[in-house]
């Protein structure tokens, strides 16, 4: 469990072909970043293949992988609600860039968000 005073956070980013995936449920992998929010830096990263997609599974899996923030291009409201139930912050509308660039822009307070392309 994370200490309330801790500045360490795990951020998960859905990835397809090496870039942030525009549709959360269709990604090939997840890039996980251990970050220090106070220092504004990425401390480590890893990539994992997700389990086969089925409704509600990815939020539970990401919770088990200790993700505290998910940065995505698009995500339906049902998935967002399930993440909320697991206490995971969701950021949607992120650009389809290299995942480390997206995470660093988030840490720097410079992440530009666009519309959420998923409306289901």
Check residue 78 and give its pLDDT.
86
Report the DSSP pairing between strands 89-91 and 69-71: parallel
- Does the pLDDT of residue 120 top 60, yes or no? no
Q: How confident is the model at residue 7 (pLDDT cuts 50, 70, 90)?
A: confident
CATH of 11-107, one of 3.40.30.10, 3.30.420.130, 3.40.50.970, 3.30.470.20: 3.30.420.130
Structure confidence by residue, pLDDT tens digits, 30-47: 999 999 999 999 999 999
- Does the pLDDT of residue 5 top 70, yes or no? no
Mean pLDDT, residues 10-25 taken together: 92
Check residue 2 and give its pLDDT.
43
Check residue 1 and give its pLDDT.
42
With a threshold of 0.75, does the pTM exceed it?
Answer: yes
pLDDT averaged over the chain? Answer: 89
Are the C-beta atoms of residues 62 and 13 closer than 8 Å to each other? no
Quick count: other Cβ atoms within 10 Å of Cβ 39?
Answer: 11
- Does the pLDDT of residue 83 top 50, yes or no? yes
Q: Which of 113, 105, 106, 58 is nearest to 86 (CA)?
A: 58
Q: Is the dihedral of CA 44, 54, 16, 13 positive or negative?
A: negative
Mean pLDDT, residues 9-13 taken together: 98
- Helix, strand, coil share (%) of the chain residues, nearest 5: 25, 30, 50
- Does the pLDDT of residue 55 top 80, yes or no? no
Gap between the Cα atoms of 8 and 37, Å rounded: 6
Sequence-separated (6 or more) residues with CB below 8 Å from residue 14: 20, 21, 24, 27, 29, 30, 70, 72, 73
Domain range annotation of the chain:
11-107
């Amino acid at each position: 469990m994370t200490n309330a005073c801790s500045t360490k956070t795990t951020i998960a980013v859905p990835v397809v072909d090496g870039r942030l995936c525009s549709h959360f449920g269709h990604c090939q992998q997840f890039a996980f970043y251990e970050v220090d929010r106070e220092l504004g830096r990425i401390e480590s990263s890893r990539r994992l293949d997700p389990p086969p997609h089925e409704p509600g599974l990815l939020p539970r899996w990401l919770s088990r992988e200790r993700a505290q923030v998910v940065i995505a291009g698009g995500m339906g409201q049902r998935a967002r609600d399930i993440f909320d139930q697991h206490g995971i912050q969701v950021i949607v509308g992120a650009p389809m860039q290299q995942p480390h660039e997206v995470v660093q822009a988030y840490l720097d307070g410079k992440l530009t968000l666009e519309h959420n392309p998923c409306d289901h």
